[in-house]
Structure formats: structure tokens, C-alpha cells
Amino acid sequence: MAPDISQRASAGSGQDIQEKAGKAPASWLARLSWAMFDWANQPYFTVITTFIFAPYFTAKVIGDPVEGQSLWGFTIAFSAALVALGAPFLGAIADAGGRRKPWLFFFQILLAFGCALLWLAQPGQLQLLPLVILGLVLANIAAEYSIMFNNALLPALETPRHVGRLSGIGWGLGYAGGLIALFTVLIVSQPELVGIKPPEGEAFLGLKRDSFEAERIIGPATALWVALFVLPMFLFTPDRPGSGQPFLAVAKAGIAQVFATVRHMREYGNLLRFLIAYMIYYDGLVAIIGFGGIYAAGIFGWGTTELGLFGIALNVIAIPAVIAGGWLDDRIGSKRAVQFAIVSVALGTLGILSITADKVLFVIDVAPRAAGAGLFSATGEQVFFLCAVLLGLGMGPMQAASRTLVARLSPPQMVGEFYGIFSLSGRATTFLAPLLIGIATAMFDTQRIAAAIVLIFLGAGFVLLWKVKEPVRD
């Protein structure tokens, strides 16, 4: 039977937080190994779903960029819907059972398997497309659930005063891992960038250009990366103790607890306000990250090389920013750290809104990019990069401090369930900003409208955060 809701609510009281504050953190090896999970998993998002494999899939595998973008969007939306629907229940079941590592192990294996299937994504081999789609769905579901269960380990590893620092270190390692993976992909696919001249028709390591092996190898290589670098977390990070109950009893208790939480959600009004705010400002963040590269490709004609270098630059900026953001989180509180990050992203978005092919800051005339000009030689491109600095300074701390705030607001016995709801709130409406951008772009016939819509989402999330009360810490 699910624990009494009032008892569980009281577990998140200020007194409980103060009691936990006196406990010693886990060993440095345990905490570093937990943070290595982000290093192991971030390359999936960097090189597969954002900068390299996604454009390859839409433009080359499908062959029609419009049809490819539509199929990619439906695939990611379908997997995100499955994650959103299941996350609160799996999180609550894990709370009832205690242990998180068995869940993590299963989903990390599933992630590696899904990534390995992407090797089959070859143009002209549409009979293999169902297996590629299956790989994308499995990998996306597994990646999101893995993050949820890894997040649920965070509160037990560090004292409340320093939990923001640990979260920031994890995000920083994740960006570093993504940066190295992205740089490696660029070297393998285009070794000419670093002065290496492979034989005609080949990329680095003998990969064949005509069959796009350099792009297809990204999937299996990501699977190997995950399998190798997630090992420290399994070996050295302590799990929560198990309940000793049979799985069916644990599952029944977890499912019952989700429905009990929904019925008594008013008792968690503070956390609910945060989750609604997160849902809105996270939509804006996801939209500007996705929109930024598309906008640059549209007005400057950027291709894979420029977008890849842009992704590297964004990650270079984000690494120190998110680590510093973790320190700021512990100093001023998670809520204020999130709000500072929103302001940074909003300023970067406003800057992007001001740029066209021949203008910056709305009114300053600049020369458009000349045909055959060098990389990032136009003034508009350079100003775009300055705006990207503001995005990079804010995007990591916004996500890291949000993760920390869930740990600080959740009742300890329900942390898995609320990280599940956190995952749900981050996915439930991620279609909304892109949908509004698509409608508005069609209506006004300009890409710039996207940045204006993003600003509305960021502003609304910022305002809603004012009513969230963060627990007082020693």
C-alpha cells in the first residue's frame, strides 16, 4: 500500500532539510563517478539529435529535407510522448523499490543498442528505415529515462548546501564530453580541417565517403562511448538501499502513489509552481537552441562545417559557465541562478532577433556574407557568435540549477517520482514553441519571428518563478 500522503509531504519540510544538512556527502570518487554519467550520455544529444546525425538523416537518408524534417520531428515527438507518459510512474516505482541502478543499467544497455542501429541509416536503403527509426525511438526513450534515474541519485550524494555545485560539475563534464565527441566527428568526417589528406573517396580511418560511413559510424561510436564511460557510476556511486519487496508489490505501490500525488497535488503547490515555470522556460530554451542553427543556415548559408564549429564554440562557452553556475547556485540559491540564466539566454535571443543578412542590432547596416568568403568572415556572423556567447553562458546553468531545485523542493522519499514529473514537465509541451514558431513563420514569412516567440516563453517562465519559495539552508 502506498505511504500516507501527509507523511510523505512532511518529509520535505524545512526541518527534514536541516537534519539532512548535517550528513556527510558521499566520497569524492562516488560524486565524480556520478558526474561522469553526464560525460557518458551527452554525446548522444550533441552529435546525434542536434548537430550531425539529425541533419544527415533529414537531408541525405530521406533525401528530401522537408520530408526528412517532418519524419524526424514525428519520431522524436513520439518517443518524447512515451517518456512523458511513463516517467512519473517509473520514478514512483523506483522510489518504492529504493534502488536506481538496475533501472539505469537496463536503459543504458537500451541506449547503446538503439545507437548501434543507426549504422543502418544509409541513403538508398529505405528498406532498413524502420530499423533506423526503431533505433532512434529506443535511444531517445532510454536516454531520457536514464537521466531521470541518475538525477534521483543526486540528493543522497551531497549536502543541500553543495548540491548545486555537484550538479554543475556534472553538466560541465557533459558539455566537455559532447565537445570532444563533436570535434572527433568533424575530424573523422572532414580530416582536411586539420591538414590531413586521406585517399580519394575516403574520410579518416578509411571510412568511405560515397556510403557516408563517417556519418553512420556516429551511432555505434556513441554506443561504445556510453558503455565505456558510464562504468565508473555503476562501480563507485552508491545506490539507495532496496526495499526488499517483490517487484509486483513495488510496482503497485508506485503506481498508486502517482495517483495519490495527483489527487493531493495542492499539498505540493510550491513544487507544482516551479514545474509549470520550468515547462515554459525550458520550451523557450529548447526552441532557441534548435532555432539558432536553422536561422544561421538560412541567413548566412551555413553548412555542416560551420554548424559543427558553432556547436563546438557553444560547448566551449558552456563548460566553465555551468561549473561557475553550480557555485552561484549554492551561493544565491537555485531559483535565482535559474533566473540569471534566463536573463542571459533572453539577451542572446534578443541579439539574434536583431540580426539579418545585412543588419545587426536592428539598425546597423553591415555587408552580407560574400560568396566564397572565409568561415565566419561577415560582420553579421561575428555578431551572431557574440549572441551565442550569451546563450552558452545561460543554457547550462539554467538546466543544472533546475535539476538542483527539484532536489531541494522534493520530499526525500518521493524524489524519484518528482524527477519523473520533472521529466514530464520538460517534455509535455516541447512541441508548443516549435508549433507556434512554424505557424507564425508561415503567417509573417520571416524566420525572425521565432526569436520573438522564444522571448515570450522565457519571460513567462521568469515571472512564474517569482512565486516559487526555495527552502532556507544553513
Examine the pLDDT at 13 and tell me if it is beyond 50.
no
Q: What is the mean pLDDT of residues 51-62?
A: 83
- Name the pLDDT band for 73 (thresholds 50, 70, 90): confident
- Average pLDDT over every residue of 46-55: 84
Asked which of 16-20, 237-241, 312-316 is least confident by mean pLDDT, the reply is 16-20
pLDDT of 3 over the 80 cut: no
How large a percentage of the chain has pLDDT more than 70?
A: 88
Res 10 pLDDT > 70: no
Output the pLDDT for position 314.
81
Is a pLDDT exceeding 90 seen at residue 227?
Answer: yes
Cβ 132 vs Cβ 61: under 8 Å = yes
In the block, residue with C-alpha cell 507518459: 85
Domains defined along the chain, listed by start = 9-465 (1.20.1250.20)
Asked if the model's pLDDT at residue 235 lies above 50, the reply is yes
pLDDT computed for residue 371 by the predictor: 67
The pLDDT of residue 306 is 76
Q: How confident is the model over 316-337, as a mean pLDDT?
A: 89
The pLDDT of residue 12 is above 50: no
Band the pLDDT of 430: cuts 50, 70, 90: low
pLDDT band at 16 (very low <50, low <70, confident <90, very high): very low
* Predicted TM-score (pTM) above 0.85: no
Place 429 in a pLDDT band, splitting at 50, 70 and 90: low
38 and 109 Cβ atoms separated by less than 8 Å:
no
> Pairing relation of β-strands 364-365 and 359-360?
antiparallel
Please state, rounded to an integer, the average pLDDT across all residues of the chain.
83
The whole-number pLDDT of residue 230 equals 98
Q: pLDDT tens-digit profile of 340-361?
A: 999 999 999 898 888 877 777 8
| Per-residue model confidence (pLDDT) at position 22 | 41
